[in-house]
Amino acid sequence: MVEKKTAAGAGLVVFITLALLVLLFWLQPFDLINEVLDRAFGATPKWTDVSNLFTDPQTQELTHGERPEESLDRLAAYWSGRTGDRVVFIGNSQMHAMSLAPGEPPPAAPERTYTDLIPRKPENGPDYLIYRLSAGGMSYTEALWYAAYLMSRRELKPDVIVLQINYQAFWQAGIRDGMLGMLQVPAFRQRVEEMAHNNQPFSDTFQEALNHYAGLQAASAAGRDAATGEAAHHPGFGQAVEKATRRLLSKVPGFDQRHSIKDSFLETLYRGRLYFLRLAPSTPRSITGVRLIRSQAALEETARLCRDNGVRLILFHAPLNPEVKLYRTAEDRQAHYAFVRDLAARYNVPVWDLENSIPAKDWGRLLNGPDPLHMGRLAHHLMAKKMTDILAGRADSAN
Applying CB under 8 A, among 242, 267, 323, 332 the residue interacting with another protein is 242
User: Helices 203-221 and 140-152 meet at what angle, rounded to 10?
Assistant: 70
Q: Does 368 bind another protein (CB under 8 A)?
A: no
Whole-angstrom CA distances from 359 to 27, 130, 266, 332 are 41, 26, 32, 22
Gap between the terminal Cα atoms of the chain: 85
Q: How many other C-beta atoms are found inside a 10 Å radius of the C-beta of residue 83?
A: 9
Nearest distance from residue 230's CB to another protein, in Å? 4
Nearer Cβ to another protein, position 101 or 277?
Answer: 277
| Helix/strand/coil for 103 | coil
Nearest to 191 by CA among 131, 137, 150: 150
Show the site string, 155-194: x = touches another protein by CB under 8 A, - = not. Answer: ----------------x-xx--------------------
| Helix/strand/coil for 130 | strand
Q: Does 290 bind another protein (CB under 8 A)?
A: yes
- The DSSP 8-state label assigned to residue 225 in this structure reads -
| Residues touching another protein, count (CB under 8 A) | 66
Distance CA 112, CA 343 (A): 29
Q: Does 335 bind another protein (CB under 8 A)?
A: no
Distance CA 300, CA 358 (A): 28
* Residue 248 phi, psi (nearest 5): -65, -45
Q: Does 328 bind another protein (CB under 8 A)?
A: no
Nearest distance from residue 213's CB to another protein, in Å? 14
**Part of the chain binding another protein (CB under 8 A), chosen from 73-81, 109-117, 179-187, 292-300:** 292-300
Residues contacting residue 242 through CB under 8 Å, at least 6 positions apart: 224, 225, 228
Q: Does 249 bind another protein (CB under 8 A)?
A: yes
Q: Does 32 bind another protein (CB under 8 A)?
A: no
Q: Does 16 bind another protein (CB under 8 A)?
A: yes
Residues contacting residue 20 through CB under 8 Å, at least 6 positions apart: none
Q: Does 237 bind another protein (CB under 8 A)?
A: yes
Nearest distance from residue 246's CB to another protein, in Å? 6
- Residue pair 372/279 in contact by the 8 Å Cβ criterion: no
Show the site string, 193-212: x = touches another protein by CB under 8 A, - = not. Answer: ------xxxxxxx--x----
Binding site for another protein (CB under 8 A): 1-3, 6-7, 9-10, 12-14, 16-21, 23-25, 29, 171, 173-174, 199-205, 208, 227-231, 233-238, 241-242, 244-246, 249, 258-259, 261-262, 265, 269, 273, 277, 279, 285-286, 288-294
